[in-house]
Each structure stands twice: as structure tokens, then as C-alpha cells.
Chain A
């Protein structure tokens, strides 16, 4: 139950700022689908296999819970035709950016990441993500995710955001 509690806690946190009907239904759909399938899978329910399958899967780049996205406020480019490190076709990366430090539970290291916006098209609108670990207000722009970082692009419309590893954070 602990992992289920955590799932719901994190889901509700992701939804805390904004819950559109569409995203709520999509989120509920995932939860309900998961709940419906769990009793059916795996077919072999003997001990070790069940314990292994019951472990929560690490979130991937199309999920706001992905470790690299610990201070993204926007739409995930990975859901918009790009990846966590590339802009969707036809969009342009922002040359200026904000910086964060995210912990990778996979290797236990902290990484410095660059949150770039992808620009020149209107809001992607998919996979809204609003996480703010160590995020600071506008008077500290290098740690702020409220600014439109497409501001210096020739086409300064905001489309989506990526998170690019710059290096391991030194303790």
C-alpha cells in the first residue's frame, strides 16, 4: 500500500496547480487501467515473480515524474514530438536557459541539468508538468521557471520544455 499511497500522493501533487477535465480523465484512466490489469497480470503469480512485478516502474521521459524534470514548469517536449533532450520537429531551442539540480535515483547521483524551452510554435498543451524543486522567483532568473525562456529567440513563442544533463553535481 505504501507504493500506492506514494503514487496517489505524487499524482495529486502533479495535478495540484491545474486539473483540466482532459488531464483528470487521462490520469484516472491510467490509474483505473492499472488497477484493472493488476489482478490479471502476471499469469504466474508465484512468489518472486509477483514481488518483482509489484515494484513501481521508474518514470520515463514522457512522465512528469521522470527524475530529470525536477523543476520543469511547462509541457514536456517528449510528448510533443521531441524527447527529453530534443525539440519537436520545426521548433527551435532557446539559447538561454535556467539551471537546476536533480537527483537520479537510478545511480544515486545529483546532476546539473539545463532546462531549455523549445520555441516558435504555440503551446504544445500535452503532458503539463509543474515541479519546482529549488526553484526561485524571477529576481533569480537562472533558477526561475516562470520566465518565458524563448524570450531571446527570433520566434519567441513558447512550445515545450526539455531537460539536458550538463554534468554531475559536485557535493
Chain B
């Protein structure tokens, strides 16, 4: 017997740095709150078509995160301690290039940054990208106005107890108030306050507070309440316009079926479809994830579908996001750190990405 000839050896390899492919509407930035080790939160970029994890942007301690209006940059408002978990605190806003996932620069903030649960309004861009706003809570409430082009803090604006930075137009910032009102500050070209206006109350913080996790709509944001009311606010004009409130639940369901989680709704703006994680529960269950996702038409206010995903292997759904293209994907992050990729038109589960981070609590898409 003759021994077989040994196969040719493997060629020498070259270490390189991977380049991102061109972005698609099905990319999703998954915020991992790394709850067991909160000084090390991050954004993971995931492709909903190929199911590949494309890369990561580091996000420090209890950050605010957002994407620039054109999707080319990420902004992370975060905090670092000089000795890792302790030592001198530095609050900073960091920018990353979303085509390379490399840092583009930073703006050091006063140590006042709002350190709170993820939502779209801890840090936000103006519509034209000219300003970045950073929410401050010390617990006195105010916000910083930043110049991202020149990497400067332009100033700080007191918000009289109202919190967070809800951007509209090139120069307006609204904040949610305990009185149920919306404070809107208009800025001059230098980023200083030129005027402010307080709206009439649009919700009751005692009877039925709204979640601060607003959902971007065509002309503003939708805010959902603990008991399932939809408050749509048009922020395209100088003054906010509040649409008539409509319910996600029937009178029989109210108080028994509730929305809950960490990102409590997603809207496909062209199709007018709203996706909300819902569960059966009572007072105090507003952070519990959904056992179902309910789908609504925001024009007719009709419920179009109830989708349950336990049989597909999902746990309680904490966060939802939907792509904005004509063949949309619904992303659902659950309490076991799975992220499901779902056909947003049919509810068909296409893929479940296991353990996408430790605690995926919010998702953004370009």
C-alpha cells in the first residue's frame, strides 16, 4: 500500500481589517445595556438580511445614543471614570463614522448628563444636523446645545423641571413636563434660546403617564401611555399640534392588556403601521415585555393583527423596531437577549439571533 500524497499546505494568511458593506435599510443598531457591567455598554450593528453581526461601537456608562439624520454618523453621550469603575468622572459626546465604525471626535460636557434608561431623547440631532442636544439631569433639568461640526458646547438651557431633548426642525427642542405639558425652546443660529412656549397639558402623569420612549412619526413623535392611549404630536410647525388621542385597547381590555418594555413601539411611517409589545398585567407592569405584538393602522386606528411568538422561541419582547422600506423587517428583542427578524407584513419569523449582547433594550435603524 502506498500512502496517499499529503494535501497541499494552507496558504499563508494576511491579517486585515474588515470593511463594512454598503448599508441597507435592513441594518439595525442594537443597543446592549450590558446590565451586569454597566460601564461597558455598546451598540452592535446587525444585518437583518444576512444575519451577520457587522461590528460594534462602544458606549460607556448609561449612555444616550442616536444616529445622525443622514445615518452616516452615530452619537454616543456617555460617562467614563478615570480608573475604570471609579475615579474622576468625564461626561462626553462621541461621534463615530458609520461606514467604518471608527471614532470621529468628541465634545467634553459638564458633568450633568442624564444617566437613565435608553430612549431617543437623551441625545439627539437637529433635523439638519447642525446642532446636537444633550439632556442634563442633576437632578435639576436642562440641556446642552452642541456644535458637532466644530466640536464645541454652545451653551446650556434650563428647562424648568421638564426633561429630555425631543428635536424638531433645525432649531427647536421640546421637553416632557410633569404637568403633562410640552416645553418647546427655539434657538437662534448661535444655539442660544430665542423663545420658549409651554403647551396645554396633553397627558395626566398621575392617571395615565406617557412612556418617554417616543416613536418617530411622519411629522413628529407618537407617545404611548401606560394604559394604551396613543398621543401623536406634530412638531413640524412653530407650535406642537396634538392629534386626537386614540386607544390601543378596547374598553374591556383596558388595564388588563398593557404595553411594556424598554422600547414600547415602532412605526412604519409610509405604511402607517404601528407595532406594540403587549402583555396581560396590572399596575406596575409597564416594564414587562410583551407576550404578543399588536399591529395597528395609525390612520384607521384599527388593530390589524395580534402576533404571538413564544412557539417560535421568543421570550418576553422588550424592544421593537421596524425598517422603513417597502419590504419591511420587524425586529423584536426579548428578555433572553434574542433578537428576532420578522416579516413586518406577515408576522413570519425569519430568524432568531441568539444572545445579541447581554441586555438588548433599544434598536435604531438608518
Residues of A that sit less than 8 Å from B by CB: 13, 15-20, 24, 70-71, 73, 96, 120-123, 125, 128, 130-141, 146-148, 151-152, 155-158
Contact = CB atoms under 8 A, between A and B. Distances in A.
B9 interface: no
Given A123-B35, A132-B285, A155-B81, A146 B315 contact: no
A81 B287 CA distance: 27
A73 B285 CA distance: 12
A147 B316 contact: no
Contacts, number: 127
Contacts of A16: 279, 285, 287-289, 316, 335
Interface residues of B, number: 51
A148 B212 contact: no
Interface in B79-134: 79, 81, 84-87, 89, 114-117
Given A13-B281, A122-B84, A138-B116, 13 more contacts: A15-B335, A17-B287, A18-B337, A19-B315, A24-B336, A122-B38, A130-B287, A132-B286, A133-B284, A140-B205, A147-B137, A156-B115, A157-B38
A17 B335 contact: yes
B85 to A, nearest CB: 4
A interface: dominant SS: loop
Given A146-B117, A151-B139, A152-B138, A135 B163 contact: no
Contacts of B176: 137-139
A41 B226 CA distance: 44
Contacts of A13: 281, 285, 288
Contacts of A17: 261-262, 287-289, 316, 318, 335
A123 B287 CA distance: 20
A142 to B, nearest CB: 9
A96 B140 CA distance: 12
Given A138-B212, A139-B162, A155 B87 contact: yes
B36 A125 contact: yes
A140 to B, nearest CB: 5
Contacts of A147: 114-116, 137, 139
B307 interface: no
A141 B178 CA distance: 9
